[in-house]
Chain A
């Protein structure tokens, strides 16, 4: 039995995951918690947020995020992809900044208009 704190939402439910019985989750208050509990022990993933250089905007950095979770082990490699990017204003929310990050099928997208 493994104890986890759910990070799906700010509520932070205290989960118990039974690794010996198909990762059955208890202590969750929604189905996403059960999903998280199982995934966290089998193939943990995270959404990554960061910034990239941006020219011609109100600020020199434009915030970005992965538009889906990527494997935890890929976080630093994904971050490195952002080092060489320079956007030029205008930038729109949702604009793709890096396609198919580390072959995950997930893109880095801009999270604000610049």
Chain B
């Protein structure tokens, strides 16, 4: 019997396991399906990681390396090349590994840290032929950065998520010509800094409110047709542009990988596509926690780390002290301008000093006030100069404010006149 089984050895799993160890758990197992720890960070060779957590700018492999070193100083057990198949009643984790075969391990607590995967061409239904040369940006990133293959020479990128932007620069540096980055929304889904340092630096045009309307080619991509879209995201006839290219990269969103979560009967929030969680990242199944991209897709690994440390610590508390008391719970309601929040509900009695609340806005906003109301009364407000859906927002709700609230908390955005 383990105290904690962590499913996934990426940044979330590593931070969660380390935090649980520090909080006093001793029988901890990380199950990782790849042949090494570190998850997606291993292929994210660009820099910009760790500014919040380590106060320095690291590359992905360096960031992962730091946590792998930290883990080495603990007694946390790691099983690589092992895939979790199912989580069943009483926290039994079914797994299959090359060396260990089929095993069922029991745990007092579980941390779901499976991360997310990319949406594919099928998920967005692009018309056209089905030639070679269409990759998700992350798959291309792995080919280039880890396996040493250049997937193409003339590239169009659909979607302006961060991985797409990073790959626009990466393919350019490796000698490919990136012809365009095409985004269906009127704003980019990636961080502003990536638009600047990945597109502007290399004169790669970004076509907002455009999408791919045809892919041509028999064996290999030969042309991609891009059209402007109207405000209902429908292509406008007559606006077609044809790009001669051999490769189309897709950076069209990430989906938390929650097959195990669903199978286990855990409640899923359709807005995050992740488990509905409490303030300590506990899911609807007591003793089962979720953190990192499996709970909601993050922009920054630093926040994945911080969230997972909270989850790891909470798992330790659950095992060592048992289920805490719940006097009352607050449900978080998404008000105007807010597309989701994590956590989705808060038990004020279990909040130490303050509760971190993460959310995304559903449109680009200038100077704004983030308002938190309970029963019609405003209990907190925070101002921001700029808000965008591509950049996750975060507020800190002090315990005493939560104690004074009841029923629901509504988070909403109100744009204010510029100073």
Contact = CB atoms under 8 A, between A and B. Distances in A.
Interface of A: 4-10, 12, 14, 46-51, 53, 58-61, 63, 65, 72, 75-76, 79, 93, 111-113
Contact of A5 (B36, B173, B193): B193
B385 A111 contact: no
B193 A10 contact: yes
B147 A5 contact: no
Query: How large, as a class, is the contact surface on chain B?
Result: 20 to 34
B195 A5 contact: yes
Contact of B61 (A60, A63, A72): A63
Interface string B29-69: 00000011000001001111001000001010110110000
B147 A63 contact: no
Nearest to B144: A51
A61 B197 contact: no
Interface string B369-406: 00000000000000001100001000000000000000
A65 B56 CA distance: 14
Contacts of B193: 5-10, 12
Contacts of A12: 191-193, 391
Given A65-B59, A72-B201, A111-B62, 16 more contacts: A7-B197, A9-B193, A10-B193, A10-B391, A12-B391, A46-B201, A51-B144, A58-B36, A59-B147, A63-B45, A63-B145, A75-B173, A76-B173, A111-B45, A112-B64, A112-B65
Contacts of A48: 173
B390 to A, nearest CB: 9
Contacts of A9: 48, 51, 193
A7 B61 contact: no
Nearest to A110: B61
A76 B146 CA distance: 21
Nearest to B45: A63
B196 interface: yes
A49 B59 contact: yes
Nearest to B299: A10
B266 interface: no
A113 B65 contact: yes
A77 B45 CA distance: 19
27 contacts: A6-B193, A7-B193, A9-B48, A9-B51, A9-B193, A10-B51, A10-B191, A14-B386, A46-B201, A49-B47, A49-B59, A50-B45, A50-B174, A51-B45, A51-B144, A53-B148, A59-B148, A60-B147, A61-B145, A63-B61, A72-B201, A93-B61, A111-B45, A111-B62, A112-B62, A112-B64, A112-B65
4 tightest A-B CB contacts, nearest first: A12-B192, A112-B61, A63-B45, A7-B193
Contact of A51 (B145, B192, B195): B145
A58 B147 CA distance: 10
Contact of A47 (B57, B148, B385): B57
A73 to B, nearest CB: 11
A112 B42 CA distance: 9
A93 B391 CA distance: 31
B300 interface: yes
A14 B282 CA distance: 37
Contacts of A75: 173
A50 B59 CA distance: 10
A63 B146 CA distance: 8
A28 to B, nearest CB: 11
Interface in B127-147: 144-147
Contact of A49 (B42, B46, B147, B148): B46
A53 B148 CA distance: 8
Given A5-B192, A112-B62, A14 B385 contact: yes
A10 B52 CA distance: 10
A6 B57 CA distance: 15
A63 B59 contact: yes
Nearest to B41: A112
A72 to B, nearest CB: 7
A9 B61 CA distance: 18
B19 to A, nearest CB: 23
A7 B196 contact: yes
Given A10-B299, A12-B391, A111-B45, A46 B197 contact: yes
Nearest to B200: A5
Contacts of A93: 61-62, 65
A93 B47 CA distance: 14
Contacts of B196: 4-5, 7
Contacts of A5: 192-193, 195-196
Contacts of A14: 385-386
Contact of A59 (B146, B173, B174): B146
